[in-house]
Amino acid sequence: MLSPLDFLSDLTNPLLSFLPKALLVALVCSVVAGVIGSHVVLRGMAFIGDAVAHSVFPGLAVAFLMQGSLLLGGSIAGLTTAILVAVVSQNRRLKEDSVIGILFVGAFALGIVIISRAPGYSGSLQQFLFGSITGITDDDIVMVCVAGALVLALEWAVHKELVTVGLDRETARASDLPVFALDLLLYVLVTMTVVISVQVIGNVLVLALLVTPAATARLLTDRLGQMMVLAPVIGGFSALVGLYLSWSIDLPAGGTIVLVATAVFLACWLVAPRGLLALRLDCTAPHHRHARVADDTHRAHLEVGLHVTDPQ
């Protein structure tokens, strides 16, 4: 196994130019996914994130066959499927989760059929499903950085509005916020985040990059601002350590990054203020539990956007 110094030496080796490219893209995707994933976790919409990850697949497959923009193809497919869900869900005899399950999985199946038309499709399919971080090109770096900057800029522009809708939709409507438009924008941001992250860890595991660091940060703080700082840091740490272990032990990069992120989550779950050990202590100290409930109630009345509370 390589030492960290040997890994650093490989990063600066001109003969291994793909390695720093892979690390750069992984870090950019981790930052973007950490910020957008905070909204996903805040709203409790991890299932939607998984569905979007599946829905972009046919667009990615078409763009791959036509040698076009993966970002454009994936975004069109994801948004088209999201609009179909919104329309079909108007039928009161169908629950939204059922519609999501049918349409998004159907879109994923369509992507598999489309990519199967490509010569040597098995390799292409594996690249889409599990990622190919070491095959990143200069064009990929530009696309990821530009798209990532756009996602972060859009989130910053409507941050408070997205938080308001995520915490209390009725309050948002009473404040005359365009709730449907903000929901659609969040779908766009999630879709773009998924598309730029696919090459890092693949379509199957992309949900982990979107949700796991944000969920870990949620265990550590109630403040959304701190959460949106911690989540990218946790994601970036997972990407760095995961790529190091992958390169050192010859493991799949995407899967290793996700395993590191999962290990960090489990460690925080044990020792965090809301983790397993804290819950065990609460069981043996009722007055501490009552004090925390009172503190949570106080936080719930503070200004929207400063603290995270459970969505209504």
Sequence spans of domains, the chain: 4-287
pLDDT value, residue 126: 63
> Two tokens at 38?
């905070």
Given a cut of 90, whether residue 165 has pLDDT beyond it is: no
Residues in the chain: 312
pLDDT tens digits, one per residue of 7-62: 888 888 888 888 888 889 889 999 999 999 999 888 887 777 777 777 888 888 88
3-state secondary structure the chain: CCCHHHHHHHHCCHHHCHHHHHHHHHHHHHHHHHHHHHHHHHHCCHHHHHHHHHHCHHHHHHHHHCCCCHHHHHHHHHHHHHHHHHHHCCCCCCCHHHHHHHHHHHHHHHHHHHHCCCCCHHHHHHHHHHCCHHHCCHHHHHHHHHHHHHHHHHHHHCHHHHHHHHHCHHHHHHCCCCHHHHHHHHHHHHHHHHHHHHHHHHHHHHHHHHHHHHHHHHHHCCCHHHHHHHHHHHHHHHHHHHHHHHHHHCCCHHHHHHHHHHHHHHHHHHHCCCCHHHHHHHHHCHHHHHHHHHHHHHHHCCCECCECCCCC
CA distance 284 to 288: 9
Flag whether pLDDT at 197 surpasses 70. Answer: yes
Residue-level pLDDT at 271:
81
For the domain spanning 4-287, the CATH number is 1.10.3470.10
Q: Does residue 250 surpass a pLDDT of 50? A: yes
Please identify which residue in the block is written with the tokens 């299932």.
47
73 or 299, greater pLDDT: 73
Strand partners, 304: 307
Q: Residue 175: what pLDDT?
A: 84
Residue, of 142 and 103, whose pLDDT is higher: 142
Residue 302 pLDDT level (bands cut at 50, 70, 90): very low
Residue 304, phi then psi, degrees to nearest 5: -60, 135
Q: How does the average pLDDT of the chain come out, rounded?
A: 79
Is residue 301's pLDDT more than 50?
Answer: no
Which band of pLDDT confidence, cut at 50, 70 and 90, is reported for residue 86? Answer: low
Q: Is the pLDDT of residue 218 over 60?
A: yes
Query: b/e per residue, 14-53, with b = 16+ CB within 10 A?
Result: eeeeebebbbebbbbbbbbbbbbbbbbbbbebbebbbbbb
Res. 213 pLDDT band, cuts 50 70 90:
very high
The predicted pLDDT at position 92 comes to 64
Structure confidence by residue, pLDDT tens digits, 177-193: 888 888 888 888 888 88
Separation of first and last alpha carbons in the chain:
49
More confident residue, 303 or 91: 91
d(CA 190, CA 268): 25
Q: For the segment 115-152, what is each residue's pLDDT rounded down to a tens digit?
A: 777 766 555 556 666 667 767 778 878 888 998 999 99
